[in-house]
Structure 1
Amino acid sequence: MKKVIASSVLATSVLLPLNLLASESPTAYAASNSSLVLDEIQQIAGTTQKIGKYAANMRSGATTSYSKVVTIPAGTSLEILDAFTNAEKEVWFNVEYNGKKGWVTSELFEINVTAGESGVVINEPVKPIAQTAVKAASTSNGISYVGTTQRIGKNASNMRSGATTSYKVVATIPAGTSLKVLSAFTNAQNEVWFNVEYNGKKGWVTSDLFALNATAGETATSMKVVQQTTVHKGATKSYAVVSTVKPGTTLVIHQEFTNASKEKWLQVTYATGKKGWVLASAFEESSIASKVVSKTSTVHSGATKSYKTVATIQVGTKLSIHQEFTNASKEKWYQVTYAVGKKGWIPADAFETVSTVPENPTPETPSTDANIVEEKNSLKVSVPVANMRSGPAITFDVVTQARQNDVFDSSQYATDAKSEKWYKVNTTSGEAWLHQSVVSIGDSAGEAPIVTPGAGEKGTIKRANALLYANSNYNSAVLQGLAKNTSFTVLNKLKASDGTTWIQINAGGKEGWIPDFEVNENIPTKYGTKTATVYNGASATAKKVDTIYLSTPVRVLRTLNGWVNIETQSEKRGWIQASMLSDISPIQLSNGRTEVRNGQNYMVWSKPSKFDITYSTPSANVLRIFGNLSDINEIKSSVTGVKSMKVEKVSGGTSVLLITFDPNYTYTIRDYDKELTIKVVEKGLAGKKIILDAGHGAKDPGAVGPNGKREKDVVLATAKALQAELEAAGAEVVLTRSTDVFLELKQRTDIANKSDYDAFISLHADAFNASSKGTTTYYNATVNFNGPRSLTLAKSIQSDLVKAIGTYNRGVKEQVFYVNRMNELPSVLVELAFISNPTEEAQLASAAFQKKAAAGIRKGLENYFKQ
């Protein structure tokens, strides 16, 4: 690589699949834009294709985030039942193997299909790795419409080449047109799209544009919200909140969906022409009748026997009926609750008589009303962050969060299905429930705990700038201000209709009323969502008194018409719009947990907003994570490979996480927009995942030596030799290119950034003049999040590489090469030797030298993964 042209490393077209394909010849890859177009995909459906030389995982949906159903041996021929391009533009095939149906990425097939009359053979579709959870057509979402004829609504609709609005428009379909639904698909945004044919063209139309008739498994119905809830853009809480719905609101339900976390969500119309998703637990579900089963029957996931059997019901069982439906075969079916929180469909002939249920039946929710106990307790939060839910079970929404040492009064508790207690408390967001594991109990003798002094007792003002009112309401005259720590005697207490507890006091001979937040040590904290002005009144025209910023904590005194009365860190009191505050800090690591992903153990933290995290390695086996974090949720459960974990507060009140690993374990850390992950793995090279990037390729030869040797050729040969070395040591290896093709730099880093791999190594040959010599390893720490690990990797590889090949050691250097700078993995760029030097040119072209270089880099990686 020529140093005189800094951009020579910035090679720029075809993104190869991460797994090795059945053929490594250039003709085995699709050219140009490296993807199958819609017409080609449709022609593949119905053909028989063969799995390539690697066994293939069949999954329950069309991305690698779905669970594995079965592994299909290499060379197996399968009929392609359907084909789909997901939101990541990967082509996946629906197949059946050993009686099981599922989805396999097209990358693992040896595809041989003649497209149209052109006689063009479509080879392997070339796709990047995708981690986005795309809901495939194998889900129940929209499936009941497949095969039915549905009509476009009152607006013309665009038919697109794929199932998101990012795909190109292939036709415009007039309003009122009736179309047969060929297949259904739920994309990454949880939008249901239908595959249809119009004027000889096939494409995708969003289901929102159809005037849908009810079908098997889905009838248009309305349900009443029984607890305040949020409407989301998609069927998980990670999607944006688009609206808030109050108890008592009746919403039209369009469909239901169970996400990857086993949460049941319902799609609703929350405003004219606007649809969103709400957790099913927010609704009251009315039974229309109850029936007794007269013969042993099976319950199905839809209203025909072709749907999956979910339960068997014995004679004499009484079931609540929610809906009635007659399917296309004229069979009458009922939707029933067959277990707590579980619904399915059962044929009408399973029942005998109908007995009507009360007009206003008990709402079916996950709550445990029958086990509610009246008991007064004083609670103190014992964990850094505690989720507060809308009901007494883990299935209810998180409505807000409490922080360590926050204090609450509870007058009731409920026991869940595990006989664990949930305590009911009041918050600024309304009623909420706390689990027994996150609180410590104070006074539980049955009397109300005293939070404020009683009549005749003395106390002190806890807030700055407290006001003494003439009467027990905010509209009465202000008698005077009271400084923090002012002593007083309590004369009386009462609770106003707005929920405020007022205390009548005598302070220095002056009698008046104060709200209880003036004397409470613990009051709710909220956080700024952006830079915002604090006013001296509940109006944007009022005088400015202070400014808060992203993640600034403030104390909440009271709310009024969309405004919040707060006390800032500088103890200034004022008003701010409620939309400028959040119950949780936007800059924190929350919901700390352990997960198994692709068979490997992870520690995972959620990020409420996008912000940068920094880490360092202060000593062997110790990882220090920081970055202006207001809080870090410590994982309490034991983690294999982790010796200890603790959260510390440092100057400025920010939090730092210190993790000490077992001496036999190491880690790979990744900072994503929505989460931080730490993969915990045993030390050593075996099982590690490595990406090898041979620089340049095809039209870009790289540097050319005096005897005509080309950089692109020698580094590819070395990459293949290194692949063999690493795989022999038990590592999993991916080549960004295994043939003479050209890749843009972004394509190379995309392979790394969309993967769960552990290291990225880019191979190059240096160039300057005939006397230049030696080996250099580059890294980047100024931009790359994994700069600390990249430096460690660079030092390890450089040391063992120069020992193996005997070249001059030019050392480890930091640079801004794209493949390091824009890489999220620990990554290095290795300049093997100078191709501009005739002696080193000959060495670079030598198979023996390439093998030695491969052995040296492999040794460097072994030592890196031992640290």
Structure 2
Amino acid sequence: MKKVIASSVLATSVLLPLNLLASEAPSVYAASTSAILDDIQQLVGNKALLTENNVNVREGAGTEFDKITSVQAGQMVSVLANEKNSKGEIWYKVSLNSTEGWIISDYLTAATAAVKASTTKSGDSYVGTTQKIGTSASKMRSGATTAYKVVATIPVGTSLKILGAFTNTSNEIWFNVEYKGKKGWVSSDLFVLNGTAGETATSMKVVNQTTIHKGATKNYTVVSTAKVGTTLVVHQEFTNGYNEKWVQVTYATGKKGWILATAFEDNSIANKVVSKTSTVHSGATKNYKTVATIQMGVKLAIHQEFTNASKEKWYQVTYAVGKKGWIPASAFESVSTVPENPSTETPKPEENIVVEETNLKVSVSVANMRSGPGITYDVVTQSKLNDQFVSAQYATDSKNEKWYKVTSTNGDAWLHQSVVSVVDKVDETPVVTPGNGETGTILRANALLYANSNYNSAVLVGLPKNTKFTVLSKLVSTDGTIWLNIQANGKQGWIPDFEINENVPTKYGTKTSTVYSGASATAKKVDTIYLSSPVRVLRTLNGWVNIETPTEKRGWIQASVLTDVAPISPVSLTNGRTEVRNGQNYMVWSKPSKFEITYSIPSTNVLRIYGNLSNINEIKSKVVGVKSMKVEKVSGGTSVLLITFDPNYTYTIRDYNNELTIKVVPKGLAGKKIVIDAGHGAKDPGAVGKNGTKEKDVNLATAQFLKAELEAAGATVTLTRNSDVFLELVERTNISNSSDYDAFISIHADSFSSTSKGTTTYYNSTVNFNGPKSLALAKSIQADLVKAVGTYNRGVKQQNFYVNRMNKIPSVLVELAFISNPTEEAQLASTSFRKKAAAGIRKGLENYFNQ
């Protein structure tokens, strides 16, 4: 391989990785740039913003590389790696949309942690649509805040195509647009926003007047009232912690809010509650396409029923905002018919809330307790004669009758005024049941032992998990909590039964949220949960939930950030499964979005996969060649997958845009698939020795000998070239990247001076996903190649050669010997040396696949 460099010392550091600069650069440089280097390193693995327009993205870290595309100011990119090139310039490898390339550091700045991809959902959904400037002329700026300079003023009524969207650190959504040949950023508030491309964007008519709120519970501020007959654009839906379905709507120009989905339910004939997890189909048999999966406990609006040819009864339901499908009747347990004239029967749900503490006693034999203040709400539980409650608030319905909100064993519930009596004081002496000497063990972490059977009494001591105790007595308090009077660690006191209950309900985080020491956002922070984080629900209080986090810390979190079903994170590995592809066994995970994955090899036969993953779906079935598989949560709430392989098996791992695959195969060369790349060719002779030996000829002959060696051992081999032809570097890597092969070997001859000597094997780990496997491959080949040909061992070195850097599979570049050295040129020209080199590389590959 030809190198244009000044000395053999520089030969190994033409592109010096930034993590080596502080130790290898001159001391003057290190002293003057240490702070800069810290900032540079912090960008890698994070988001960054473009600070200028028309910045070129190139194939490599320098202006001599071809331009891939141009990007504009304000655009956010993911930073994958960094390099300092031979000119001393700092370049970053970035990912934007589906493109990867290199940008000089001068035009990038860090995007703060407050800017998250998840916050741009509403803005991103408008990308590609045409929107109109609203009621006043709008200023287009060079970046996505008002701090950037104005580059144009756009008149009222101008229609613009939305090129991109970005949410800045102030949570303002800005749109990237082009006006009169100039590109820039305009605040989304200045547009009249119509239906979006990426969200539901269904225009629906309000049939039940209700209020619009800032968030998806009625605890949020009312921002408007939706009157009957009003048509609203619906963007997305959300089920809150109270199991209420809310939808996001545009209620005024540039303004969005949240409204109960019941505002649009105009043609339902009944409501039904799903009694088991069931699928919704596009037609009334299971042969039709599955369009949704509905979990147990969800209430659906029924529009019509139908009995198909197989005598199965099916219902047409609304399963999402503006979307209808068919579900079998077997999914339901009972029907609660909606009155024909809801305007006379349906109360105004929580529109007239009065905060007032009232002591109540049930005055009928059995009283229904509903999920909301009206008879159309579901019955969540029942109470019996003389049961007592303390209500903190009540709501009045359309008949001006009161519904009292109380706490039941099933959470918050509502009682109608006709089934209760108001009393002066609640009897606080519940019946105590003596214990019968049973013993138990504390199952929760950080359990509290109270002086009395209520949460307001003094805490006597904390009881660690697995503490043994004896039950002295039991009682059920007025709020439905079961309390146990116990003796533990020499102390006597009371604990709620969730401290010993194995079946505590589990909910999941809908976003990154703070866990507080009390039921208030002003309380001390004790932990953080993330999207899909599972938490144990202990009790509820005024819209807050007392939980135990995955790290076994206890605290309070708002109910609105929890859901009953774990949401799918865009940065997760889902649908873990086994597949047979081309006759070989694979483990496969789907990726909901494009993101980077990293792996390491902590020990022989062990693979560790990580990379800011919120969730990993573990494969539960037995996998041939896999001894064990385990998903662990680590610091920051991210997931790590640990796979231990059987001693007689190895693997090849590939990271695609939409999936991660691991091919599990027996050890050894037999059955392995290998790409051999003979460097240079045709018009590109490579380096030429003093006696006229051409590098391209050495490379091709050695590659052909190596192919014969590998095929004799049972491997499948593809040559990038089998004759004297010219291939671009990208053509060579495309051969391996589009294949299911296991390794890539590029063969070259080195050139520098007449005294330079020896053999070197190069790999890349700064860019190549398969860096860890590439390093193992390089070490194995270098050891056996040097042993076979008897040359000076120059070692294994990291480098950024294109065929290594841009390869998706384990890859190395071998420099057989120096063609610029007359002695080694003579060796390279001989058939015996080429055959020995091929045998050495084959042996190295064999040892690699036996590791």
Q: Give the TM interval when normalised to the shorter protein.
A: 0.3 to 0.5
Answer with 1 or 2: which has the greater Rg.
2
- TM-score normalized by the length of structure 2: 0.45
